[in-house]
Structure 1
Amino acid sequence: MRHLAIISAFCLLALPAQAFDLSFEWGPLKLCTSGKPNTVASPAFRLKNVPDGTKFIRFKLVDRNVRSYNHGGGTVAWKGGAQVPAGAFKYKSPCPPNGAHSYEWTATAMSKNNGGKLGEAKARRNYPE
């Protein structure tokens, strides 16, 4: 019986941790295709498996078609839950001038406001969709 308990405990430890996961919807953005982004409120983000010890989450938006353009992002205090509400910070909206671009939000879980990276999650969507 003792061997079975040891084997069971070892199997539980060997299971991979669930990956930190991020998803979002653009929400009620005004259509922008001029190449001149607006400053807008952040979308709502859904999070799964946020790493233990997370106190802050830093969000950053990248246009995968024009990586050099800084859309910005923001850092929010993390108090648990599965969602960061819309409007938690301001950023420069997606606004591609020549058709849809692929955009990627990165969420970095941190133990301190300015560091202590615990994990990272990414989510992509095209804009306009």
Structure 2
Amino acid sequence: MTRSLSRLGSTVLAAGLLLAVASPAFAFQASFKWCSGSPDFVLKDVPKGTAKIRLKMTDLNVPSFRHGGGEVAWSGKGTIACGALNSTWVGPSPPSGSHTYRWSILAIGADGKTLGEATAQRRFPE
């Protein structure tokens, strides 16, 4: 009986460690508006300890086209200004009609680890 409890305790401990290591990043909220440069972003509930925000845009109608994105230092103000990604990003340019674009957004700590994640999407043109 003692041996069985010992094995059970080891299994529970190992499962707990695996859960701690494999836990998903904290989800926060994001929205954006199209503007004359890269979008204007509003971020809410970004995890404490975030040093930078990494952003990547995907055209859901043509996911193979690489729009890019970039990284910006996180000030904690809750916004990323229009044009902040202009040098590392290719804006929406659907060949015809309207396409849906999704931003994948990661909150990155000073140690380089992902602390949180969010997505936001809109059509262009609206």
CA shift, 1:109, in A, is: 0.3
Unaligned runs of 5+ in 2: 1-25
Q: Indicate yes or no: 2:117 matched with 1:120.
A: yes
Q: Distance in 2 between matches of 1:112 and 1:26?
A: 29
CA shift, 1:106, in A, is: 1.3
**TM superposition score normalised by structure 2:** 0.73
Q: Distance in 2 between matches of 1:124 and 1:112?
A: 27
| Bigger Rg, which one | 2
Q: Distance in 2 between matches of 1:99 and 1:23?
A: 23
Aligned pairs, number: 99
CA shift, 1:89, in A, is: 1.6
Q: Which amino acid aligns with 1:106?
A: S
Where does structure 1 differ by over 6 angstroms across 4 or more consecutive aligned residues? none
Q: Distance in 2 between matches of 1:19 and 1:66?
A: 26
SS state at 1:92 partner:
coil
Q: Which amino acid aligns with 1:104?
A: R
**TM superposition score normalised by structure 1:** 0.72
Unaligned runs of 5+ in 1: 1-17, 29-40
Partner of 1:101: 99
CA shift, 1:43, in A, is: 1.5
Identity of aligned pairs, percent? 48
CA shift, 1:98, in A, is: 2.2
Q: Distance in 1 between matches of 2:105 and 2:40?
A: 12
| Bigger helix share | 2
Partner of 1:71: 67
RMSD: 1.6
CA shift, 1:95, in A, is: 0.6
